[in-house]
Structures are given as C-alpha cells and as structure tokens.
Amino acid sequence: MSLVEWDDSLAIGVKLIDKQHKELFRIINSFSERIGKEDPSFTLKVTLDSLKSYAHYHFTTEEKLLQKNRCPLHFRHQGMHAAFAGLVAKLEERQDSIDRKGLLELQAFLVDWLTTHIKKQDMPLRAYFAP
C-alpha cells in the first residue's frame, strides 16, 4: 500500500503538471517502501538522486510555464523551488549519518511538503500552468 495516494483534490487540471506531480508521489512512495529494508544511507542516496533529478525537471517545467504565461508570482514560486532544492542538497551532505528515525522524519516532511505545495502554492496558479 502506498504511503500517500493521489486523488482528484490534488489535480490542478493541467495534464503535464498533474502527471509530473504523480511521479513525485511515486518517488516518495518508493522511498517509504525502502525504509527498514535497506541501509538508511543507501535508501537516502537513491531517493535523493531520484528526487533531485525529477524535481529539477518538474520545477523547470513549472517555472517555464509561469514565465511564459506572465505569472506575477513567478519569482516567488521559483524561490520555493530553490528552497526545496537547497534542502535536498543539505540532506546529501549528511546522508552517511542518517538513521531510520531520520528517514521517517524525512518521509513525513516530503509528504507534507508535496501535498501542501500542490494545494496551497500550485493550485492558485493553475491558470498560469497552461501550455
């Protein structure tokens, strides 16, 4: 069973963005399934590699659409993405010292950050995400 399930309340109505959000959920759920089954530092490394790569791709997509559609909050939204990327970078620095408890804390943070970001940050901007 997945830790966090996608549902229609998370859909912003732009297929490309919704598809990318679903992939971020898949990455978080995969991370959740690995906890306790693998070495914590390995679990974190694999997850951070996936998150870093896919989040960069997704954030770039969103930011290009916001810029193209002249969203007045483009730079603010870009700053939120940069803050998340900065957090991932900090986690990479300490990945060798993380334990199972740290992974569970990260799991809770990722679920909260993604669902909150979609509902409170992306949703109000959905008109600006149109391709």
pLDDT in tens, 18-56: 999 999 999 999 999 999 898 888 899 999 999 999 999
User: If we measure between CA atoms, which residue out of 14, 12, 92, 102 comes closest to residue 49?
Assistant: 92
Write down the pLDDT at residue 2: 67
- Residue 12: its pLDDT value, please? 94
* Cβ-count burial 7-29 (b if 16+ within 10 Å, e if not): eeebbbebeebbebbeebbebbb
The predicted structure's pLDDT at residue 61? 96
pLDDT average per 10 residues of sequence, the chain (131 residues) = 82 94 94 90 91 94 96 95 92 86 90 94 92 83
pLDDT at 118: 95
Query: Which tokens in the block code for residue 98?
Result: 């993380």
pLDDT score for 1: 53
Distance CA 27, CA 86 (A): 18
Domains of the chain: 12-126 (1.20.120.50)
Q: What is the largest CA-CA distance in the chain?
A: 46
What does DSSP assign to residue 14?
-
In the chain, what are the helix, strand and coil shares in percent, each to the nearest 5? 80, 0, 20
